[in-house]
Protein backbone atom coordinates (compact mmCIF):
# COMPACT_ATOMS: atom_id res chain seq x y z
CA UNK A 1 0.00 0.00 0.00
CA UNK A 2 1.06 3.60 -0.63
CA UNK A 3 1.71 5.77 2.36
CA UNK A 4 -0.60 8.71 3.04
CA UNK A 5 2.01 11.16 1.77
CA UNK A 6 2.61 9.22 -1.42
CA UNK A 7 -1.15 8.84 -1.99
CA UNK A 8 -1.62 12.61 -1.69
CA UNK A 9 1.25 13.27 -4.13
CA UNK A 10 -0.13 10.71 -6.59
CA UNK A 11 -3.58 12.32 -6.41
CA UNK A 12 -2.12 15.78 -7.08
CA UNK A 13 -0.14 14.52 -10.06
CA UNK A 14 -3.26 12.81 -11.43
CA UNK A 15 -5.31 16.01 -11.11
CA UNK A 16 -2.54 17.99 -12.80
CA UNK A 17 -2.44 15.52 -15.69
CA UNK A 18 -6.22 15.79 -16.14
CA UNK A 19 -6.02 19.59 -16.14
CA UNK A 20 -3.22 19.61 -18.71
CA UNK A 21 -5.16 17.18 -20.86
CA UNK A 22 -8.21 19.47 -20.77
CA UNK A 23 -6.08 22.46 -21.78
CA UNK A 24 -4.54 20.50 -24.64
CA UNK A 25 -8.05 19.60 -25.85
CA UNK A 26 -9.13 23.23 -25.84
CA UNK A 27 -6.08 24.50 -27.67
CA UNK A 28 -5.43 21.61 -30.02
CA UNK A 29 -5.02 21.78 -33.78
CA UNK A 30 -8.31 23.64 -34.24
CA UNK A 31 -7.27 26.35 -31.77
CA UNK A 32 -10.86 27.42 -31.42
CA UNK A 33 -10.14 29.37 -28.29
CA UNK A 34 -7.63 31.58 -30.10
CA UNK A 35 -9.22 32.17 -33.49
CA UNK A 36 -10.06 35.76 -32.56
CA UNK A 37 -6.68 36.55 -31.06
CA UNK A 38 -5.17 39.72 -32.57
CA UNK A 39 -2.54 39.13 -35.22
CA UNK A 40 -0.69 41.10 -37.87
CA UNK A 41 -2.32 42.51 -40.99
CA UNK A 42 -0.09 40.36 -43.21
CA UNK A 43 -1.08 37.14 -41.42
CA UNK A 44 -4.69 38.00 -40.70
CA UNK A 45 -6.03 39.19 -44.06
CA UNK A 46 -5.44 35.86 -45.88
CA UNK A 47 -7.32 34.15 -43.03
CA UNK A 48 -10.17 36.64 -43.41
CA UNK A 49 -10.23 36.09 -47.17
CA UNK A 50 -10.37 32.30 -46.84
CA UNK A 51 -13.25 32.53 -44.38
CA UNK A 52 -15.15 34.56 -46.96
CA UNK A 53 -14.22 32.60 -50.10
CA UNK A 54 -14.96 29.23 -48.49
CA UNK A 55 -18.63 30.25 -48.44
CA UNK A 56 -18.84 30.42 -52.23
CA UNK A 57 -20.46 27.25 -53.53
CA UNK A 58 -19.92 27.90 -57.24
CA UNK A 59 -16.85 26.58 -59.00
CA UNK A 60 -16.54 29.87 -60.87
CA UNK A 61 -17.33 33.35 -59.63
CA UNK A 62 -16.31 36.95 -60.30
CA UNK A 63 -15.95 39.10 -57.17
CA UNK A 64 -15.67 42.89 -57.17
CA UNK A 65 -13.40 44.07 -54.38
CA UNK A 66 -14.10 47.56 -53.04
CA UNK A 67 -11.50 49.45 -50.97
CA UNK A 68 -11.92 48.84 -47.24
CA UNK A 69 -12.96 52.01 -45.35
CA UNK A 70 -11.79 53.26 -41.97
CA UNK A 71 -14.88 53.51 -39.77
CA UNK A 72 -14.36 57.02 -38.38
CA UNK A 73 -13.05 58.60 -41.58
CA UNK A 74 -15.47 56.80 -43.95
CA UNK A 75 -12.53 56.63 -46.32
CA UNK A 76 -9.47 54.62 -47.25
CA UNK A 77 -6.25 54.77 -45.29
CA UNK A 78 -2.81 53.37 -46.11
CA UNK A 79 -3.84 49.95 -44.79
CA UNK A 80 -6.68 49.77 -47.33
CA UNK A 81 -4.22 49.27 -50.20
CA UNK A 82 -2.38 46.51 -48.29
CA UNK A 83 -5.65 44.72 -47.48
CA UNK A 84 -6.65 44.86 -51.14
CA UNK A 85 -3.26 43.50 -52.26
CA UNK A 86 -3.44 40.58 -49.84
CA UNK A 87 -7.02 39.69 -50.78
CA UNK A 88 -6.33 39.86 -54.51
CA UNK A 89 -3.41 37.51 -53.92
CA UNK A 90 -5.80 34.78 -52.78
CA UNK A 91 -7.16 34.52 -56.32
CA UNK A 92 -3.90 32.99 -57.50
CA UNK A 93 -4.11 30.08 -55.05
CA UNK A 94 -4.93 26.64 -56.41
CA UNK A 95 -7.91 26.19 -54.11
CA UNK A 96 -9.64 29.24 -55.62
CA UNK A 97 -8.65 28.87 -59.28
CA UNK A 98 -12.24 29.29 -60.41
CA UNK A 99 -12.79 32.41 -58.34
CA UNK A 100 -11.60 35.70 -59.75
CA UNK A 101 -11.21 38.78 -57.57
CA UNK A 102 -10.87 42.16 -59.23
CA UNK A 103 -10.59 45.62 -57.74
CA UNK A 104 -13.44 47.95 -58.69
CA UNK A 105 -10.74 50.42 -59.73
CA UNK A 106 -9.61 47.96 -62.43
CA UNK A 107 -12.98 46.53 -63.45
CA UNK A 108 -14.55 47.29 -66.83
CA UNK A 109 -18.18 48.38 -67.09
CA UNK A 110 -19.00 44.87 -68.34
CA UNK A 111 -17.34 43.30 -65.28
CA UNK A 112 -19.15 45.73 -62.98
CA UNK A 113 -22.44 44.54 -64.45
CA UNK A 114 -21.73 40.82 -64.71
CA UNK A 115 -19.96 40.20 -61.39
CA UNK A 116 -21.46 37.57 -59.11
CA UNK A 117 -20.46 39.12 -55.79
CA UNK A 118 -19.16 42.28 -54.22
CA UNK A 119 -16.71 42.21 -51.29
CA UNK A 120 -16.55 45.25 -49.00
CA UNK A 121 -15.02 45.90 -45.62
CA UNK A 122 -14.50 48.23 -42.68
CA UNK A 123 -11.50 48.91 -40.45
CA UNK A 124 -12.51 49.95 -36.93
CA UNK A 125 -10.50 50.68 -33.80
CA UNK A 126 -12.66 48.96 -31.20
CA UNK A 127 -12.70 47.33 -27.74
CA UNK A 128 -11.64 43.69 -28.00
CA UNK A 129 -14.56 41.51 -26.74
CA UNK A 130 -12.34 39.18 -24.72
CA UNK A 131 -10.82 42.13 -22.82
CA UNK A 132 -13.01 45.22 -23.41
CA UNK A 133 -10.49 47.53 -21.75
CA UNK A 134 -8.07 46.76 -24.61
CA UNK A 135 -8.59 48.20 -28.10
CA UNK A 136 -7.38 46.67 -31.34
CA UNK A 137 -8.30 46.95 -35.01
CA UNK A 138 -11.21 44.88 -36.23
CA UNK A 139 -11.19 44.16 -39.95
CA UNK A 140 -14.74 43.25 -40.95
CA UNK A 141 -15.64 41.96 -44.41
CA UNK A 142 -19.02 41.35 -46.06
CA UNK A 143 -19.65 39.39 -49.25
CA UNK A 144 -22.93 40.19 -50.98
CA UNK A 145 -24.80 39.19 -54.12
CA UNK A 146 -23.92 41.74 -56.80
CA UNK A 147 -27.46 42.00 -58.11
CA UNK A 148 -29.47 42.11 -54.86
CA UNK A 149 -27.02 43.13 -52.12
CA UNK A 150 -28.10 40.13 -50.02
CA UNK A 151 -25.36 39.00 -47.65
CA UNK A 152 -23.68 35.73 -48.57
CA UNK A 153 -20.86 35.66 -46.02
CA UNK A 154 -19.42 37.76 -43.25
CA UNK A 155 -16.15 37.42 -41.32
CA UNK A 156 -13.79 39.45 -39.18
CA UNK A 157 -10.31 39.35 -37.68
CA UNK A 158 -8.49 41.43 -35.10
CA UNK A 159 -5.06 42.93 -35.73
CA UNK A 160 -2.66 44.77 -33.47
CA UNK A 161 -2.11 47.80 -35.70
CA UNK A 162 -2.74 49.21 -39.16
CA UNK A 163 -0.88 51.98 -41.01
CA UNK A 164 -2.88 55.16 -41.48
CA UNK A 165 -0.35 57.20 -43.42
CA UNK A 166 -0.50 60.95 -43.86
CA UNK A 167 -4.04 61.97 -44.67
CA UNK A 168 -3.62 63.78 -47.97
CA UNK A 169 -7.29 63.59 -48.85
CA UNK A 170 -9.45 65.97 -46.78
CA UNK A 171 -11.77 64.17 -44.39
CA UNK A 172 -15.43 64.00 -45.36
CA UNK A 173 -17.79 63.86 -42.38
CA UNK A 174 -21.05 65.08 -43.85
CA UNK A 175 -21.56 62.52 -46.59
CA UNK A 176 -24.59 60.47 -45.55
CA UNK A 177 -23.98 58.02 -48.40
CA UNK A 178 -20.45 57.19 -47.20
CA UNK A 179 -21.63 56.84 -43.61
CA UNK A 180 -24.52 54.60 -44.62
CA UNK A 181 -22.24 52.24 -46.54
CA UNK A 182 -19.94 51.79 -43.56
CA UNK A 183 -22.91 51.27 -41.23
CA UNK A 184 -24.34 48.59 -43.53
CA UNK A 185 -21.25 46.46 -43.09
CA UNK A 186 -20.96 46.98 -39.35
CA UNK A 187 -24.65 46.24 -38.71
CA UNK A 188 -24.97 43.19 -41.00
CA UNK A 189 -27.36 45.00 -43.31
CA UNK A 190 -28.10 44.49 -46.97
CA UNK A 191 -25.30 46.00 -49.05
CA UNK A 192 -25.98 48.92 -51.42
CA UNK A 193 -25.30 47.89 -55.01
CA UNK A 194 -27.24 50.41 -57.11
CA UNK A 195 -24.41 52.93 -57.18
CA UNK A 196 -21.57 50.47 -57.76
CA UNK A 197 -20.64 52.19 -61.04
CA UNK A 198 -20.30 55.54 -59.29
CA UNK A 199 -18.20 53.96 -56.54
CA UNK A 200 -16.03 52.28 -59.16
CA UNK A 201 -15.37 55.54 -60.95
CA UNK A 202 -14.41 57.21 -57.69
CA UNK A 203 -12.07 54.28 -56.99
CA UNK A 204 -10.54 54.66 -60.47
CA UNK A 205 -10.04 58.38 -59.89
CA UNK A 206 -8.36 57.76 -56.53
CA UNK A 207 -6.08 55.12 -58.05
CA UNK A 208 -5.09 57.50 -60.85
CA UNK A 209 -4.53 60.26 -58.30
CA UNK A 210 -2.13 58.10 -56.31
CA UNK A 211 -0.25 57.29 -59.52
CA UNK A 212 0.10 61.01 -60.22
CA UNK A 213 -2.08 60.85 -63.35
CA UNK A 214 -4.01 64.04 -62.60
CA UNK A 215 -5.39 64.76 -66.11
CA UNK A 216 -6.92 61.25 -66.06
CA UNK A 217 -8.46 62.03 -62.66
CA UNK A 218 -10.08 65.18 -64.05
CA UNK A 219 -11.42 63.33 -67.08
CA UNK A 220 -12.98 60.53 -65.00
CA UNK A 221 -14.59 62.95 -62.54
CA UNK A 222 -15.90 65.46 -65.05
CA UNK A 223 -17.64 62.62 -66.92
CA UNK A 224 -19.04 61.30 -63.64
CA UNK A 225 -20.38 64.67 -62.50
CA UNK A 226 -21.92 65.33 -65.93
CA UNK A 227 -23.54 61.90 -66.23
CA UNK A 228 -24.79 61.62 -62.63
CA UNK A 229 -27.16 64.56 -62.95
CA UNK A 230 -26.62 65.30 -59.28
CA UNK A 231 -23.80 66.30 -56.98
CA UNK A 232 -21.33 63.62 -55.91
CA UNK A 233 -19.48 64.79 -52.83
CA UNK A 234 -16.51 62.49 -53.23
CA UNK A 235 -16.17 63.47 -56.90
CA UNK A 236 -15.92 67.16 -55.99
CA UNK A 237 -13.36 66.32 -53.35
CA UNK A 238 -11.10 64.47 -55.79
CA UNK A 239 -11.64 67.16 -58.42
CA UNK A 240 -10.46 69.73 -55.89
CA UNK A 241 -7.34 67.72 -55.02
CA UNK A 242 -6.37 66.98 -58.62
CA UNK A 243 -6.82 70.65 -59.56
CA UNK A 244 -4.45 71.61 -56.75
CA UNK A 245 -1.84 69.17 -58.07
CA UNK A 246 -1.79 70.83 -61.49
CA UNK A 247 -1.84 74.31 -59.91
CA UNK A 248 -5.26 75.17 -61.30
CA UNK A 249 -6.30 77.06 -58.19
CA UNK A 250 -9.38 78.58 -59.78
CA UNK A 251 -10.77 75.11 -60.56
CA UNK A 252 -9.79 73.94 -57.07
CA UNK A 253 -11.71 76.78 -55.43
CA UNK A 254 -14.77 76.11 -57.59
CA UNK A 255 -14.70 72.40 -56.72
CA UNK A 256 -14.30 73.20 -53.04
CA UNK A 257 -17.25 75.62 -53.09
CA UNK A 258 -19.46 73.00 -54.76
CA UNK A 259 -18.32 70.46 -52.19
CA UNK A 260 -19.22 72.53 -49.12
CA UNK A 261 -22.45 73.72 -50.73
CA UNK A 262 -23.54 70.12 -51.24
CA UNK A 263 -22.37 69.09 -47.77
CA UNK A 264 -24.30 71.87 -46.04
CA UNK A 265 -27.37 70.99 -48.13
CA UNK A 266 -27.14 67.32 -47.15
CA UNK A 267 -26.65 67.62 -43.42
CA UNK A 268 -26.17 71.28 -42.43
CA UNK A 269 -22.55 70.34 -41.67
CA UNK A 270 -19.40 71.21 -43.56
CA UNK A 271 -18.17 68.04 -45.27
CA UNK A 272 -14.52 68.65 -44.38
CA UNK A 273 -12.47 69.02 -41.22
CA UNK A 274 -9.65 71.41 -40.46
CA UNK A 275 -6.97 69.21 -38.88
CA UNK A 276 -4.32 70.60 -36.51
CA UNK A 277 -0.86 69.63 -35.45
CA UNK A 278 -0.46 68.37 -31.89
CA UNK A 279 -0.70 71.10 -29.25
CA UNK A 280 -1.29 73.78 -31.88
CA UNK A 281 -3.90 76.38 -32.79
CA UNK A 282 -2.50 77.07 -36.24
CA UNK A 283 -2.40 75.07 -39.43
CA UNK A 284 0.44 72.74 -40.26
CA UNK A 285 2.91 74.39 -42.71
CA UNK A 286 2.01 71.96 -45.52
CA UNK A 287 -1.68 72.85 -45.16
CA UNK A 288 -1.46 76.65 -45.17
CA UNK A 289 -2.13 77.23 -48.89
CA UNK A 290 -4.89 74.63 -48.94
CA UNK A 291 -6.63 75.92 -45.83
CA UNK A 292 -6.43 79.47 -47.17
CA UNK A 293 -8.68 78.26 -49.99
CA UNK A 294 -11.08 76.76 -47.46
CA UNK A 295 -11.26 80.02 -45.52
CA UNK A 296 -11.98 82.06 -48.67
CA UNK A 297 -14.72 79.71 -49.84
CA UNK A 298 -16.37 79.50 -46.44
CA UNK A 299 -16.54 83.29 -46.42
CA UNK A 300 -17.95 83.24 -49.97
CA UNK A 301 -20.61 80.75 -48.85
CA UNK A 302 -21.63 82.87 -45.86
CA UNK A 303 -21.76 86.00 -48.02
CA UNK A 304 -23.97 84.19 -50.54
CA UNK A 305 -26.24 82.86 -47.76
CA UNK A 306 -26.81 85.90 -45.57
CA UNK A 307 -29.54 84.27 -43.48
CA UNK A 308 -27.28 81.42 -42.41
CA UNK A 309 -25.16 81.40 -39.26
CA UNK A 310 -22.29 79.11 -38.39
CA UNK A 311 -21.26 77.28 -35.23
CA UNK A 312 -17.58 76.26 -35.05
CA UNK A 313 -16.61 73.41 -32.72
CA UNK A 314 -13.03 72.70 -31.70
CA UNK A 315 -11.73 69.32 -30.50
CA UNK A 316 -8.54 67.76 -29.17
CA UNK A 317 -7.12 64.29 -28.70
CA UNK A 318 -6.98 62.72 -25.24
CA UNK A 319 -3.31 63.54 -24.84
CA UNK A 320 -2.75 66.23 -22.19
CA UNK A 321 -4.67 67.51 -19.19
CA UNK A 322 -8.45 67.78 -19.44
CA UNK A 323 -8.72 71.50 -18.66
CA UNK A 324 -5.83 72.34 -20.97
CA UNK A 325 -7.53 70.45 -23.80
CA UNK A 326 -10.80 72.29 -23.19
CA UNK A 327 -9.00 75.60 -23.57
CA UNK A 328 -7.02 74.43 -26.61
CA UNK A 329 -10.15 73.26 -28.43
CA UNK A 330 -11.85 76.60 -27.79
CA UNK A 331 -8.77 78.43 -29.06
CA UNK A 332 -8.81 76.36 -32.25
CA UNK A 333 -12.43 77.27 -32.93
CA UNK A 334 -11.74 80.94 -32.14
CA UNK A 335 -8.74 80.95 -34.47
CA UNK A 336 -10.90 79.78 -37.39
CA UNK A 337 -13.56 82.38 -36.59
CA UNK A 338 -10.94 85.15 -36.52
CA UNK A 339 -9.55 83.99 -39.87
CA UNK A 340 -13.05 84.08 -41.41
CA UNK A 341 -13.73 87.59 -40.13
CA UNK A 342 -10.32 88.82 -41.31
CA UNK A 343 -10.83 87.32 -44.76
CA UNK A 344 -14.27 88.91 -45.11
CA UNK A 345 -13.01 92.37 -44.05
CA UNK A 346 -16.45 92.71 -42.44
CA UNK A 347 -16.43 92.64 -38.62
CA UNK A 348 -20.21 92.12 -38.59
CA UNK A 349 -19.68 88.63 -40.00
CA UNK A 350 -18.43 87.67 -36.54
CA UNK A 351 -21.95 88.21 -35.19
CA UNK A 352 -23.11 85.26 -37.30
CA UNK A 353 -20.43 82.91 -36.00
CA UNK A 354 -20.39 81.19 -32.61
CA UNK A 355 -17.61 79.02 -31.22
CA UNK A 356 -17.35 76.14 -28.76
CA UNK A 357 -14.57 73.96 -27.43
CA UNK A 358 -15.30 70.33 -26.55
CA UNK A 359 -11.76 69.32 -25.63
CA UNK A 360 -11.37 65.55 -25.52
CA UNK A 361 -15.05 64.85 -24.77
CA UNK A 362 -15.98 63.90 -28.35
CA UNK A 363 -12.99 62.02 -29.71
CA UNK A 364 -13.60 59.74 -32.69
CA UNK A 365 -10.44 57.69 -32.26
CA UNK A 366 -9.46 58.22 -28.64
CA UNK A 367 -5.93 56.82 -28.81
CA UNK A 368 -2.76 58.28 -27.33
CA UNK A 369 -0.16 59.67 -27.93
CA UNK A 370 -0.80 62.00 -30.86
CA UNK A 371 -0.10 60.34 -34.22
CA UNK A 372 -1.42 59.95 -37.76
CA UNK A 373 -4.01 57.57 -36.32
CA UNK A 374 -5.78 60.10 -34.10
CA UNK A 375 -5.40 63.17 -36.28
CA UNK A 376 -9.19 63.18 -36.65
CA UNK A 377 -9.44 64.03 -32.94
CA UNK A 378 -7.43 67.25 -33.45
CA UNK A 379 -10.08 68.90 -35.59
CA UNK A 380 -12.51 71.78 -36.03
CA UNK A 381 -16.03 71.12 -37.31
CA UNK A 382 -18.72 73.43 -38.70
CA UNK A 383 -22.48 73.39 -38.28
CA UNK A 384 -24.90 75.63 -40.16
CA UNK A 385 -28.19 77.01 -38.81
CA UNK A 386 -30.73 79.70 -39.63
CA UNK A 387 -29.80 83.00 -38.00
CA UNK A 388 -33.40 83.57 -36.90
CA UNK A 389 -33.35 80.47 -34.67
27: confidence class by pLDDT, cuts 50, 70, 90: very low
DSSP 3-state helix, strand, coil percentages of the chain (rounded to 5)? 50, 20, 35
Q: Is the peptide bond before 231 cis (omega within 30 degrees of 0)?
A: no
Average pLDDT of the chain is: 87
The proportion of the chain whose per-residue pLDDT surpasses 70, expressed as a percent, equals: 89
Helices 214-228 and 196-210: crossing angle, nearest 10°?
A: 160
pLDDT of 168 reads: 67
| Contact yes or no for 236/210 (Cβ under 8 A) | no
- Nearest one of 102, 101, 92, 5 to 56, comparing CA atoms: 101
- Length of the chain as a residue count: 389
* 154 Cβ contact list (under 8 Å, min separation 6): 52, 140, 141, 142, 143, 188
In order of their start, the domains of the chain are 36-183 (3.40.50.10610), 195-265 (1.25.40.10), 273-389 (3.30.1330.60)
The H-or-E segment that residue 260 falls in is: helix 249-267
pLDDT one-digit tens code per residue, 250-297: 999 999 999 999 989 888 988 888 888 899 988 777 778 888 999 999
DSSP state of 359: T
- Name 145's bridge partners: 117
First-last CA distance in the chain: 94
The H-or-E segment that residue 142 falls in is: strand 131-145
DSSP state of 364: S
pLDDT one-digit tens code per residue, 182-217: 999 999 999 999 889 999 999 999 999 999 999 999
Q: Rounded CA gap, 176 and 233, in Å? A: 10
pLDDT at 80 over 80: yes
Q: Which of 230-234, 277-281, 352-356 reaches the highest mean pLDDT?
A: 352-356
pLDDT of 286 reads: 75
The H-or-E segment that residue 53 falls in is: helix 41-53
Cα–Cα distances (Å) from 133 to 127, 275, 318, 360, 365, in that order, read 6, 28, 16, 18, 15
pLDDT at 176 over 50: yes
Global confidence as pTM: 0.80
Amino acid sequence: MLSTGKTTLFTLLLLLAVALSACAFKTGPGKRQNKNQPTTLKKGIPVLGRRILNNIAEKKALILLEPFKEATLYDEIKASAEIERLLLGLGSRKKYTGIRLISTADASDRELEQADYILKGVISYSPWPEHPTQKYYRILASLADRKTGTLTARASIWVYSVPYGKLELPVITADPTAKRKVTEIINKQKISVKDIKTDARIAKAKAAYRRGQYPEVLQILEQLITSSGKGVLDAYRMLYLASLKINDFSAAETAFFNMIKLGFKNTYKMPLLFLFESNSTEFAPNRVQEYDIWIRQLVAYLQENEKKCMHIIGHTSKQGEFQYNMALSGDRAAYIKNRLVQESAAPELGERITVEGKGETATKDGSEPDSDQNMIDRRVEFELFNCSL
